[in-house]
Chains A and B, each alone.
Chain A
Amino acid sequence: MVHPSEILRPTDAGLYCPPGDFYVDPVRAVDRAVITHGHGDHARAGHSHVLATQETLAIMAERYGEDFAGNVQPAALNETISHNGVDISLHPAGHVLGSAQAAITYKGCRLVVSGDYKRRADATCARFEPVACDVFITEATFGLPVFRHPDDADEIAKLLQSLKTFPDRPHLVGAYALGKAQRVLTLIRAAGYDDPIYYHGAVAKLNALYQRHGIDLGTLIPVAEVEPETLNGKIIIAPPSALSDRWSRRTENPVTAFASGWMRVRARARQRGVSLPLIISDHADWDELTTTIEELHPEEVWVTHGREDALVHWAHSKGMNAQPLSIVGYDDDADE
């Protein structure tokens, strides 16, 4: 049988498939790329040929402009595409709209690249589907047992409780512009909050894109269109970078919240001056990472980005074959 390292191997440009002559989530411009999802460190502009889900292609076009690649090939989920004798199929990853795992099969050996993923329900994207494989290439953003994400409804309840405690203060919620912002909006709506929610200009385009894909975010109003006093006691969604910059001073004495899996660790919340940490993540937590590996029970586990050491150690302690794949260029903090 063919050895998995002949099918996918780490290179300076990212994971490369020699028989298919393509890369998965390359970190620099290449000829052929399979893209798992639209986050900046996975989806870069300038490839000659891109294969991805329709939604991911739409996100890339929104972020980089229509000419972000030479030509594009949309793939439906669970559909198999053959290229140079290699079968490629995309399967839901549950991370953000359009996110997919990439399954690559060659001469009877199947490798699945998880991209970024989570297991729990998210109204903004299709839920993760486990795909049986010989090698599972997993992310490890939250690959330490201290990361156990609580129930997201409880976290949203903390936000709504704070609105009651501080009815005069604007509630500034930092959330990554692609995925997290929209998920938080749907969660707030699901908790029964119907007031308009205000937003920073940087999340406008992606909110609109999600709405075009049929995701209901309720009434949204740009912050720039209202007087600062209007924001008292209201929720404002902004990208994390806006929490500490001059923009946030438009609001008087805000309660600063941040929706991220990193909020589980106090020092990370303090670092951003967050007084209301909301532990809401689009990545698998430790329990999800480990149960997924146990469930798939692949021959080998390769760990890409995040806390590789701990997850590899855990897999070894369970008698599994596991190794870290050091791929330079993924930013384990960027999309959380």
Chain B
Amino acid sequence: MKRFALLLDQLAYESQRNEKIRLLTTHFQEVPDPDRGYALAALTGTLDIAHAKPALLRGLIEERVDPVLFRMSYDYVGDMAETISLLWPDGDGDDAGLSLSEMITALNATSKAHMPARIANWLSALDTTGRWALIKLMTGGLRIGVSARLAKTAVAKLGALKINDIEEVWTGLEPPYESLFAWAEGAGAKPAIDRAAPFRPVMLAHPLDEKDQEKLEASDFLAEWKWDGIRVQAAGDGDTKRLYSRTGEDISHSFPDVLDAIQFEGAIDGELLIVREGTVAPFADLQKRLNRKRVTGALMESHPAGIIAYDLLLDGAHDLRPLPFEERRRRLEGWYQRNASDRFMLSTLVPFDTWDDLAAQRTAPADTGIEGLMLKRRDSIYEPGRPKGPWFKWKRDPYLIDAVLMRAQRGHGKRSSYYSDYTFGVWDDGVLVPVGKAYFGFTDEELKKIDKFVRERTVDRYGPVREVVHEPDDGLVLEVAFEGLNESTRHKSGVAMRFPRISQLRWDKPPHEADTIETLRALLPKS
């Protein structure tokens, strides 16, 4: 456990990608099976470990530390595992010299009733870093700036493999990945893919840099709409049907309606959306279907899911990925002829002759569920990862409004000494109504200025929140950028912004010149 905690600690402090990979590769070299495999599982989110609910951990710490002081500390530190690891009194529980795999085995064998005592015992035996690592493991989601892909890249670097070699076999493997390590080190054969309808690593696009665009030839590209859903892969293989997220997570259980509709052999790449009678519903509707273990018939009825197909990777048993996009597209159209249904639609190509032509269409998409355009080279093979050059995403510009700062709260984590979370509002009949919350998004200098404003212009305080002056002629106007707007019953204003962030401080603007709620409502998707 100590060795694993040290790895997590070093990774959390390292900001350079290459150094992270080096740390990981060294770990995989030095630590034997099965510990390194469990470490890989923890980093890629495939570890099966008894979970500790935050409430359990909170209960344990509140037996040892004043709950109010715990809350204040958590508010400052911003991370539950770290807060508890710092506050936990040093003690001498049973020897925690257990290896990572021994600890996982012991945890999984512990009954629910004995879990709190077991965890408390280990927390007392471990040091601050060890406590932090154990809690991170047990609460799921390490969030230390290491993606599953980065961890797999580090495995590839053990030998001469490429990351996509590993992605190709990954969904057929399980912790502690002994066969994978053996293969990567050249000591074993390529693990056989014995899973039906395996995941095929996804090809991603780079954002289009408009300067680069000048160097690109319009006639080399095809364009299609980029929908605001989630990118998925649907695969049929004999009796097996599967739906994967773009990271290869099997999400079949959440979408039995889509799964039933897979009546083909092969694999398509597409966008998962809620579609009612051919009309795409707002993203918020799709969210209701995500991350559900079971889904009711009523929900499938009210929120029917479907896929807009972008690409055909496998037709029958025929791997189309080495073919140019234009050819795959031709075959996708053929596939669509045979498979068109309520569940499967075809992504339409956007015809254009020049970039200007396309730019004009981009500003007026056919549907509010569209977030921009995808540009794909006609000759691009389907290359997993994010290769530079063949595919670009050209997003619609964000929406901008001017809103008035109403409340501020200290940030979490690295912004925790500043008032860096802001609630802002727009005018509704002469009164400001809050319409959103955003974190700070720019330079330290500006952050200091707004922080100073908050401290000096506080009119009320409740808990960690400060209410700041927001009168028609006195207050601070924020330019807020966001990606879209949904109707919301949870917000008083009736609207909820997607991905709001503060794009500019408008010290020059008096609050009464900020936008009104009508401006926002006009942006709501029509349903």
Contacts and interface: CB of A to CB of B under 8 A. Distances in A.
Interface of A: 144-146, 148, 264-271, 273-277, 307, 309-310, 313-314, 317, 328, 332-333
Interface size class of B (residues with CB under 8 A): 20 to 34
Contacts of B455: 328
Contact of B417 (A274, A310, A333): A333
Interface string B10-26: 00111100000000000
27 contacts: A145-B65, A145-B87, A146-B73, A146-B83, A146-B86, A148-B86, A265-B76, A265-B77, A265-B82, A265-B416, A266-B13, A266-B79, A266-B413, A267-B79, A267-B416, A270-B13, A270-B15, A271-B415, A273-B15, A307-B72, A310-B68, A310-B69, A310-B73, A313-B72, A314-B69, A317-B66, A333-B417
Given A145-B65, A265-B77, A333-B417, A270 B83 contact: no
A332 B68 CA distance: 22
Contacts of B34: none
Given A310-B72, A328-B456, 18 more contacts: A144-B69, A146-B83, A146-B87, A148-B86, A264-B86, A266-B79, A266-B413, A267-B416, A270-B15, A271-B415, A273-B15, A307-B72, A307-B76, A309-B72, A310-B68, A310-B73, A328-B455, A333-B417
B29 to A, nearest CB: 16
A270 B43 CA distance: 20
With most chain B CB atoms within 10 A of its CB, the pick from A146, A314, A317 is: A146
Contacts of A146: 73, 76-77, 83, 86-87
Nearest to A143: B72
Contacts of B83: 146
Interface of B: 12-15, 65-66, 68-69, 72-73, 76-79, 82-83, 86-87, 412-417, 455-456
Contacts of B14: 275
B472 to A, nearest CB: 26
Q: Binding site of B, secondary structure by majority: helix, strand, loop or mixed?
A: helix
A275 B19 CA distance: 11
Contacts, number: 67
A278 to B, nearest CB: 12
Contacts of B415: 271
A286 to B, nearest CB: 9
Interface hub of B66, B413, B416, B417 (most chain A Cβ within 10 A): B417
A145 B69 CA distance: 7
A267 B72 contact: no
A275 B13 contact: yes
Nearest to A268: B414
Nearest to A274: B13
A249 to B, nearest CB: 15
A144 B417 CA distance: 13
A160 to B, nearest CB: 18
Max chain B Cβ within 10 angstroms of own Cβ: one of A267, A317, A332, A333: A267
A333 B68 CA distance: 24
Closest A-B pairs by Cβ, 4 of them: A267-B413, A271-B414, A267-B414, A146-B86
A269 B14 CA distance: 10
Contacts of A145: 65, 69, 73, 87
A273 B13 CA distance: 8
A148 B83 CA distance: 12
A266 B12 contact: yes
Contacts of B76: 144, 146, 265, 307
A271 B68 CA distance: 27
Interface centre among B12, B14, B65, B72 (most CB of A within 10 A): B72
A209 B456 CA distance: 37
